[in-house]
């Protein structure tokens, strides 16, 4: 069952007019990566809702903050060239971060994200990259098992924004029931 604009706005009321832009490409992405059924869709929308500020941000706001400065030179992110930290900052609805993740995502989606990282700011690629990330991290299985905190940890590395994520998840489960 595809998500409607009305349902998306009930879950992410701050999305406003962009909800209508995202709904068709969100449904396409979720369908491609088997993010189907209320449990999976609710968990996915809650996570992308938090990560993107309810579809407001498809590019990480850059300070650079102290945390962002640490992206530079991080081999685990594939940031091996000077400037990679800023160039491959978080983008898309799940905030793909780092040269290595941009390469893997680009290869999977048939996009040259190394030379055009800003492609992840376009709604269709922002949605598809999030669904790709979700699927490649085994998050459908965790959603089926109701392991929402584990999903948060796989996406964020910790429990950053846990209260907001949980609130969005509860709302999504109610709307999609």
Separation of CA 147 from chain center: 17
Is residue 67 helix, strand or coil?
A: helix
59 beta partners: 91
Dist CA 71 CA 1 (whole Å): 39
Burial environment of residue 5 by CB neighbours within 10 A (0 to 12, 13 to 18, 19 or more):
middle
Question: 51, 60, 72, 121: which one is catalytic?
Answer: 51
3-state helix/strand/coil string of 34-45: CCCCHHHHHHHH
Active site residue 72: no
Closest CA to 134 of 78, 94, 104, 77: 94
Dist CA 61 CA 77 (whole Å): 18
Residue positions annotated with a catalytic role: 51
């Amino acid at each position: 069952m595809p998500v409607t604009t009305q349902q998306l706005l009930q879950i992410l009321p701050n999305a406003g007019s962009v909800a209508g832009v995202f709904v068709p490409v969100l449904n396409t992405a979720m369908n491609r990566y088997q993010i189907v059924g209320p449990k999976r869709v609710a968990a996915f929308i809650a996570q992308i809702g938090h990560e993107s500020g309810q579809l407001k941000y498809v590019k990480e706001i850059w300070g650079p903050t102290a945390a962002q400065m640490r992206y530079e030179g991080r081999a685990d992110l594939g940031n091996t060239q000077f400037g990679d930290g800023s160039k491959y900052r978080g983008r898309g609805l799940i905030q793909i971060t780092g040269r290595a993740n941009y390469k893997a995502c680009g290869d999977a989606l048939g996009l040259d994200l190394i030379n055009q990282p800003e492609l992840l700011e376009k709604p269709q690629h922002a949605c598809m990259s999030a669904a790709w990330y979700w699927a490649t991290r085994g998050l459908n299985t965790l959603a089926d098992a109701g392991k929402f905190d584990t999903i948060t940890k796989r996406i964020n590395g910790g429990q950053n924004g846990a209260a907001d994520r949980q609130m969005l998840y509860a709302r999504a489960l109610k709307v999609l029931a």
